[in-house]
Structure 1
Amino acid sequence: MNQYFTLEGKKGKREISLEIKGAILCGYTGRDQAAVRRHIEELQKEGVKPPPSVPTFYPKPPQGIAFDGDIYVQGQETSGEIEYVLLVNPQGLWVGLGSDHTDRELERLDILKSKQVCPTIISRSLWNYDEIKEHWDNIEMRSWATREDKKALYQESSLATILPPGELIRLVQQKVRGSLEGIAIYSGTPPLKTGGIVFADRFEGELYNPVLKKKLTFNYPIHTLSWFRD
């Protein structure tokens, strides 16, 4: 499935086409194991069993990957998680921003299925990793959750808290038969700042590069299928 992106670089912007064969959604990828344990505890409060090992990896088919914009979900208890995204291709390594949107009610029963039933978001714009790798750890990632017109800072972290691209690619390659070309790799997410999961009406995120003064963003409203009677 080919998708069109805007590659933003030091020489300007250009449109590119990439085949997206699927995604690998990584979890519990923090460099700080204490922070990883806090995230596991956050999920345990919501009834999610702790993983048998970390990091964890979940596959996603290509039709489940979407750009930002309105999304529609079946359950009332869904939420996003901000993550950086890697796209391996013959021209190099591209970096995007994404959200691993998840059905939290279903997550208590089956984590893989909870991720399959919701769209996984990816930004329309990408960066060239080679142009930002020297200051990678300085890049900042933030998300905001809006519920009933109340917007709150949901997550905030530098990329220094999450496994770097080289290590993430090495781990993911062990889970994939053949080349990683066409596989979107989602990095895993930092801890919440709200003390608990927010089932938002809108989810926004940014990846901000303080050195180059540039950012990638996503912004999507979340709708339930309220017109259907159970």
Structure 2
Amino acid sequence: MRSLVVYVVGSGLRAVDVKWVFNAGYAGCNSEEVRHHIEELAALGVPAPKTFPTLYPLGSHVVSQEHLYQAPHDKTSGEAEWALYIGNNENEHLLMAACDHTDRALEAHGVAWSKQSAPDFIGDLAWRYSEVKNSFSDFTLKAWVKDNQEEQLIQDGNAGLLISPSEWLKKLEEAGLARPGTLLMSGTIPMKKSVNQFSHHWRVELADHKGNISRVSYEIERLADAWE
């Protein structure tokens, strides 16, 4: 179990315990966009899924609010997402920014393995889903990467490009997996092909239209090579 601390809009700081994690994949509402993402990953050697959306159950140890990831090699990168935390009742479900950091080299051998090998970074601010349910599709979702002190926008879209939290709640309930303490990662939106995803800094923002922003920001440190 992992504990997170978030500032809930209109309520203040709150600590939540994460017991189960699910990473969604290929979860775009637009089939063209989904195919685009599949092509992005295929270019990195990742095999296409048999069905989509996909869902990967993970250990809660992957959840992080740290600001550093120590990577074993240069082929790891993030993905801008939102995260849904399932509380004890409908009014306790929370939404926040997230970044699914993934080992792209390992992903070519097994997506589920790669999801377990790197952190799911979670934002610092959250909204009660019951309070933003009708406007959440218009929330902006963006990501930036940085190399040599120059930051570049690599993902730019909105939450409406992805399967909604309501749909995911229904899917999880039907599967008997919508338990309090569950954290669902949404899957991601397309990346700009002209921007290098293998950068040393990732930043993600999920924002409403009232000035509230949930942020994720972290550095990637390349570890020394193993002595083999």
Q: Give the alignment's TM-score, normalised by structure 1.
A: 0.91
Shift of 1:3: 1.4
Q: Secondary structure of 2:74's partner?
A: coil
Q: Secondary structure of 2:51's partner?
A: coil
Q: Distance in 1 between matches of 2:194 and 2:32?
A: 16
Partner in structure 2 of residue 189 of structure 1: 188
User: How many residues are treated as equivalent by the alignment?
Assistant: 226
Q: Distance in 2 between matches of 1:124 and 1:107?
A: 28
Q: Distance in 2 between matches of 1:61 and 1:199?
A: 25
Tell me whether 1:25 sits opposite 2:34 in the alignment: no
Shift of 1:61: 0.6
Q: Distance in 2 between matches of 1:128 and 1:22?
A: 19
Specify whether residues 174 and 46 from structure 1 end up closer, same or farther in structure 2 by C-alpha distance, changes over 3 A only.
farther
Tell me whether 1:102 sits opposite 2:114 in the alignment: no
Q: Considering only aligned residues, what root-mean-square deviation do their CA atoms show, in Å? A: 1.8
Shift of 1:7: 3.3
Higher alpha-carbon deviation: 149-158 or 26-35: 149-158
Specify whether residues 173 and 148 from structure 1 end up closer, same or farther in structure 2 by C-alpha distance, changes over 3 A only.
farther
CA contact (8 A) 2:4 2:65 kept: no
Partner in structure 2 of residue 127 of structure 1: 127
Partner in structure 2 of residue 14 of structure 1: 12
Shift of 1:18: 1.6
Partner in structure 2 of residue 168 of structure 1: 168
CA contact (8 A) 1:123 1:217 kept: yes
Q: Distance in 1 between matches of 2:116 and 2:19?
A: 15
Q: Distance in 2 between matches of 1:41 and 1:179?
A: 31
Q: Distance in 1 between matches of 2:136 and 2:13?
A: 24
CA contact (8 A) 2:64 2:120 kept: yes
Shift of 1:148: 3.2
CA contact (8 A) 2:72 2:225 kept: no
Tell me whether 1:216 sits opposite 2:227 in the alignment: no
Shift of 1:14: 2.1
Shift of 1:216: 0.5
Specify whether residues 55 and 184 from structure 1 end up closer, same or farther in structure 2 by C-alpha distance, changes over 3 A only.
same
Name the amino acid aligned to 2:22: I
Partner in structure 2 of residue 78 of structure 1: 76
Partner in structure 2 of residue 3 of structure 1: 3
Shift of 1:83: 0.6
Tell me whether 1:146 sits opposite 2:158 in the alignment: no
Partner in structure 2 of residue 48 of structure 1: 46
Q: Distance in 2 between matches of 1:124 and 1:116?
A: 22
Q: Secondary structure of 2:93's partner?
A: strand
Shift of 1:178: 4.9
Shift of 1:168: 1.4
Q: Distance in 2 between matches of 1:120 and 1:4?
A: 12
Shift of 1:160: 1.2
CA contact (8 A) 1:84 1:97 kept: yes
Q: Distance in 1 between matches of 2:196 and 2:164?
A: 25
Shift of 1:25: 0.2
Name the amino acid aligned to 1:57: L
Q: Give the alignment's TM-score, normalised by structure 2.
A: 0.92
Per-residue displacement from partner, 1:2-25 (whole Å, max 9, x unpaired)?
514233223xx4222222112100
CA contact (8 A) 1:28 1:189 kept: yes
CA contact (8 A) 1:9 1:131 kept: no
Gaps of 5+ in 2: none
Name the amino acid aligned to 1:96: M
